[in-house]
Amino acid sequence: MEVDLFKVIGGKKGISRLFIGGLHGKEGLSTIHAFKTIKYIDVNEGKLVLCNLPPSPYLSTLDPLYFLSLAGMKVINIIQKYQPGIYLELHCYHPNKKQKLINMDRKDIFGVPRLVELEEGVLIGSTFPLIRSIFFDLNDFPFILEIPCNPPVNSLEVSSKIMKIAAQSANRSQIMKKIMKDYPYQVERLDDYFHEFSQNFWPAFQELKKNTLEMEIKTFQDLDKLITGLVREGGFDLNPVQMKQLGQAFMVYREYNLPNSDLG
């Protein structure tokens, strides 16, 4: 079976959308099935880039090192090239990992919001704050779908429905409105998280970037101290794991942006 997929649908003007799967491990073997359901879709305006990647060593996308790995850099290069306002990461999970993805304490343990189930084991959630803060604008719509690995037909119908909505919408509010018809509770959770993120992690990261222009960061202690200070001063509601992620986001940001960086 062909796993690699790269296809650009639509024209140059208007919103850019990127759907990407197979980010790590063998997930591409499962996510390709979801891509097949929308491979021939039409977009009314803007463009849609479909990209399914071949197997790569498994590194969690929560691990900042992922974005400095070969697979992660490939993903970032595509994001930087197409600058999507709508970005969908497709992942797959094994049944025994489901609880970990939807647990209420996911934020305390991993610093990321929990996913919520739509139907048929298809989970929806926000893209991780690290990638979201560095590579997207606040009002872009980066999100994640997790489908069961070796997805059953019923799960593919749900993921296909969501992918079609995202492919034929022009922005966040259009997508939310359409998904809300079938899944009001889930959309409320996504909205809650978006507000929390826009008021805490996002502005804290902007502050951090601004501050580091004015002072040189030589050690991790410098960075930790700076973060602790600005979170306190800004009154941002961030737990210890999220504060650590701020520092990690800054390191990845620096790798990709500073003029002297090897990767830049």
- Residue closer to Zn ion by CB (options 47, 132) is 132
How many residues interact with Zn ion (rule CB under 5 A)?
1
CA distance linking residue 230 with residue 232, whole number of Å: 5
Burial class, 52, CB count within 10 angstroms (exposed 0-12 / middle 13-18 / buried 19+): buried
- Residue closer to Zn ion by CB (options 59, 187) is 59
- Residue closer to Zn ion by CB (options 51, 208) is 51
Sequence-distant (6+) residues with CB within 8 A of 213 are: none
The neighbour count for residue 84, using CB atoms within 10 Å, is 24
What tokens does 55 get?
């197997």
Strand partners, 87: 18, 142
Least distance (Å) between residue 103 CB and Zn ion: 16
Least distance (Å) between residue 173 CB and Zn ion: 27
CA distance linking residue 69 with residue 86, whole number of Å: 24
The span from the first CA to the last CA of the chain, in angstroms, equals 35
By CB under 5 A, what part of segment 167-206 binds Zn ion? none
- Residue closer to Zn ion by CB (options 100, 210) is 100
CA distance linking residue 74 with residue 235, whole number of Å: 36
Residue with nearest beta carbon to Zn ion: 91
- Residue closer to Zn ion by CB (options 25, 203) is 25
What tokens does 177 get?
């409105």
- Residue closer to Zn ion by CB (options 47, 91) is 91
Q: What single DSSP character describes residue 127?
A: P
CA distance linking residue 84 with residue 16, whole number of Å: 5
Least distance (Å) between residue 150 CB and Zn ion: 14
By CB under 5 A, what part of segment 69-98 binds Zn ion? 91
* Residue 111 CA: distances (Å) to CA of 22, 124, 127, 183, 240: 23, 17, 12, 25, 8
Instruction: Kindly state whether residue 33 participates in binding Zn ion, applying the rule CB under 5 A.
Output: no
- Residue closer to Zn ion by CB (options 28, 46) is 28
Least distance (Å) between residue 138 CB and Zn ion: 24
Least distance (Å) between residue 174 CB and Zn ion: 26
What tokens does 179 get?
């998904």
Least distance (Å) between residue 146 CB and Zn ion: 7
Helix (H, G, I), strand (E, B) or coil at 148: strand
Least distance (Å) between residue 261 CB and Zn ion: 27
The binding site for Zn ion (CB under 5 A) comprises 91
